[in-house]
A and B are shown apart, each in its own frame.
Chain A
């Protein structure tokens, strides 16, 4: 509930000047408990602009919950998640600073894509012509007048991406955006995310698909059972473990609820003294 965050957010009242710092996602001591289960456990990391940061972890590791707390949908039990030093809930026209795509459909099936985006644009004082632009970007211009309930999963994801891009935000938070996309769509999204990062935006994208992250992300935040297990670069992690898949399975083995009998037993104890670029935590 309310903590130091409140004072912090209000003191960070700064509009107008956009610096890199405005695009940093800062997560500190973030904790969330659902009916006794610890979904997110004292999670802390930064996500910086100019790179695609993958948020990797097995199903149920707390990725979606973390993203929901970053976006102010869920209230943290303790700790905080700030964007440019402010809580999402304190942002004035949030879609112009943060674009969000959350897992599963976030639109009314009876509304057309055009109406959906027009409404959200109005809610954040985004110029109307932007709606047509993002529909073009995601390849939904032809389907804009169809009710979104008729969309395939891939088209629904594209509408979600259009929604995220609507406010031309400096920060993007995307939860499993690859879900439901066909191979062509996956490549399209990868190219899009990389170009958004190249423009200097912060791109934070969750996935449980290691292969896709290896191709898309520059940096990785890896979680298992709600805890941070690695915060490093893709290159660094692959180099250390031989492959990203090895690294992922090894790092998250203790955090995975269901695993083969050979899973945890072979986990090597890691020595201290890693590369300074890497922050890892042993799971006890």
Chain B
């Protein structure tokens, strides 16, 4: 197959794309594991944020950023859901039915990414707000609670949600490249969680480009931290990871036998 242009350039392609997104939406919502994963993401955020909030001692710290540590389970869960959304197609054999329905593979991946990205963005925003609000409510009385109207606070909360959704898309693309659940999950966890330690040992300054660091030290801060990318640059970096991963996934999906 020659590289099929996936961009919705004609009304027919647009219609095919809209049909494919409806298909992917039904597929995503008809698996219980999707709901459990997303519910656990939100519940985990509340739990961690409350624990962090209750134990806050330093009022001069970036309290908002600390509370947003609650999104950490979401990084793992939504990323894994992204990986499994793709690799599950192969492990179950569903991919044959999927490709029989939508043989235009770049279009299929685009539809998958659109549906998964939209759903996880909504859930990740809820997660970030839940972390912030639940954690803030648990702050000890002597710590002044940060308000959403204060400089950088709303941005930190919103961008944390976007960051998680982008990491979910990174997982989705990775699943299209690697196709085997266990291997893809290992690479995902390795690149998001372990790469930091490794890079720190090799080159300390490179650590700010690690996905985990981008979420915790760049996009989720109210004031720019030294040695970390600025919030928007960090978000751009995460977007780049997602784009490269999805691009590679589309490339492999198109060229390999299913």
Contacts and interface: CB of A to CB of B under 8 A. Distances in A.
Interface string B59-92: 0000000000000000000000000000011001
B101 A95 contact: yes
A6 B2 contact: yes
Given A89-B1, A92-B16, A119-B30, A73 B99 contact: yes
A89 B93 contact: no
Q: Which secondary structure characterizes the binding site on chain B?
A: helix
Contacts of B96: 73, 100, 102, 106
Nearest to A109: B92
B104 interface: yes
Contact of A94 (B26, B88, B100): B100
A124 to B, nearest CB: 6
B101 A106 contact: no
Nearest to B111: A123
Contact of A108 (B24, B31, B103, B257): B31
A94 B27 contact: no
A108 B23 contact: no
A123 B92 CA distance: 19
A110 interface: yes
A119 B99 contact: no
B35 to A, nearest CB: 11
A100 B98 CA distance: 11
Contacts of B88: 108
B149 interface: no
A73 B258 contact: yes
Interface in B79-128: 88-89, 92-104
A111 interface: yes
A124 B26 CA distance: 13
B33 interface: yes
A256 interface: no
B19 interface: yes
B186 to A, nearest CB: 22
Contacts of B26: 115, 118-119, 122
A107 B97 contact: yes
Contacts of A75: 1, 257
Contacts of B95: 106
Interface residues on A, range: 35 or more
A75 B98 CA distance: 17
B14 to A, nearest CB: 12
B141 interface: no
A94 B103 contact: yes
Contact of B33 (A105, A110, A120, A163): A110
Interface in A87-143: 88-89, 91-95, 98, 100, 102, 104-112, 115-116, 118-120, 122-125
Nearest to B102: A123
B99 A123 contact: no
A72 interface: yes
Contacts of B24: 119
A74 interface: yes
Count chain A CB atoms within 10 A of each CB in B12, B30, B97 and give the residue with the most: B97
A210 interface: no
A74 B258 contact: yes
A194 interface: no
Count chain B CB atoms within 10 A of each CB in A75, A88, A123 and give the residue with the most: A123
Contacts of A93: 16, 19
A107 B92 contact: yes
A25 B76 CA distance: 47
Given A6-B2, A100-B100, A123 B30 contact: no
Given A73-B99, A89-B104, A100-B100, A120 B23 contact: yes
B30 to A, nearest CB: 3
22 contacts: A6-B2, A71-B99, A71-B100, A73-B100, A73-B257, A89-B1, A89-B104, A91-B103, A93-B19, A94-B100, A95-B100, A105-B92, A105-B93, A106-B94, A108-B31, A108-B89, A115-B26, A115-B27, A118-B30, A119-B24, A125-B15, A163-B100
